[in-house]
């Protein structure tokens, strides 16, 4: 009889259901229950408010754009770290994880200190008409900062595991370096890139601490949806805050389901022999 290292199916399933129920599903159910206090008409009024629409547009639009930027930059950085040896590579590799460890409020203060009109870079950029602080561009910058490690750390082990023989075979058949990358390597990396995109997107949508300092929180311009939730909580309007949370949760779930479906499609597409 084969002995199992971990407990049997019954105990594992019980632990899984208990964990998901208490840590994930119960808080979400409480959020939906509290949001029901505003009623359907109140939810429609909330969603039709220009201020709410502007905040949701900035939060989700900025997160989508930041995750897209992170995919391209993350691929370039990961390629350099994996394929080349240069002085300081290990130090640079360690710095990738800095946004993971850095408290979000500290990250926000650091970005503001650099890009504010009197900051290290802001004093040179603002006269040129490039302003990050207190603009939607600053929100995008903060979202890129917090989501960048998710793409690199997701992609790095996959790129390291790629066999050199495949590239050598492509080159021996006459493929150029660009053709080898686009037709051999990139299709293999697409599902992993989408995973990194989804993780960076999820982090950026819910980001608060590193955004509020550089955003300036100007209504209808640089105000994010999580800040609206905090403001409603400070006004003791818990039902409206919960309703905003439910709206963000619904948008996030739809985005993640779409990305997951795209991942499955690209994985099947990459496995089809040509």
Q: What secondary structure does DSSP assign to 166-227, as a single string?
A: HHHHHHHTT--HHHHIIIIIHHHHHHHHHHHHHHHHHHHHT--HHHHHHHTT-TTTT--HHH
Angle between helices 225-234 and 50-83 (to 10 degrees): 130
Domain holding 45, by residue range, is 40-270
Residue 35 located in a structural domain? no
Residue 24 located in a structural domain? no
Tens digits of per-residue pLDDT, 234-264? 899 899 999 999 988 988 888 888 888 887 8
Number of structural domains the chain divides into: 1
Residue 173 located in a structural domain? yes
Residue 25 located in a structural domain? no
Cα(203)–Cα(70) distance, rounded to whole angstroms? 12
| CATH number where 195 lies | 1.10.3720.10
CB 200 within 8 A of CB 150: yes
Residue 9 located in a structural domain? no
Cα(137)–Cα(143) distance, rounded to whole angstroms? 10
Q: Determine whether 151 is exposed, middle or buried from the number of CB atoms within 10 Å of its CB (0-12, 13-18, 19+).
A: buried
Residue 256 located in a structural domain? yes
User: In whole angstroms, how far apart are CA 99 and each of 5, 104, 107, 120, 210?
Assistant: 36, 8, 8, 20, 10
* Total-model pTM: 0.86
Tens digits of per-residue pLDDT, 212-233? 888 888 888 889 999 889 999 9
Provide mean pLDDT across the span 179-195: 86
User: In whole angstroms, how far apart are CA 72 and each of 90, 133, 149, 214?
Assistant: 21, 24, 13, 24
């Amino acid at each position: 009889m084969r002995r199992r290292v971990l407990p049997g199916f019954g105990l594992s399933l019980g632990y899984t259901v208990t964990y998901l129920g208490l840590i994930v599903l119960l808080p979400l159910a409480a959020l939906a229950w509290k949001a029901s206090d505003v009623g359907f008409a109140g939810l429609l009024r909330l969603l039709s408010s220009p201020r709410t629409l502007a905040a949701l547009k900035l939060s989700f639009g900025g997160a989508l754009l930041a995750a897209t930027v992170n995919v391209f930059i993350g691929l370039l950085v990961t390629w350099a770290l994996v394929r080349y040896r240069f002085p300081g590579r290990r130090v640079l590799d360690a710095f990738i994880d800095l946004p993971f460890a850095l408290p979000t409020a500290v990250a926000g203060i650091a970005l503001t200190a650099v890009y504010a009109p009197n900051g290290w870079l802001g004093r040179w950029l603002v006269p040129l008409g490039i302003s990050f602080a207190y603009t939607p561009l600053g929100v995008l910058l903060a979202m890129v900062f917090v989501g960048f490690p998710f793409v690199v750390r997701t992609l790095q082990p996959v790129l390291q595991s790629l066999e050199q023989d495949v590239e050598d075979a492509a080159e021996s058949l006459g493929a150029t370096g660009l053709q080898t990358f686009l037709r051999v390597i990139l299709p293999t990396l697409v599902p992993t890139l989408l995973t990194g995109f989804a993780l960076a997107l999820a982090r950026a949508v819910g980001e608060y601490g590193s955004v509020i300092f550089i955003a300036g929180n100007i209504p209808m311009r640089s105000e994010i949806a999580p800040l609206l939730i905090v403001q409603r909580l400070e006004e003791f309007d818990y039902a409206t805050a919960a309703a905003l949370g439910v709206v963000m949760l619904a948008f996030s779930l739809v985005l993640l389901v779409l990305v997951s479906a795209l991942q499955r499609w690209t994985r099947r597409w990459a496995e089809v022999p040509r």
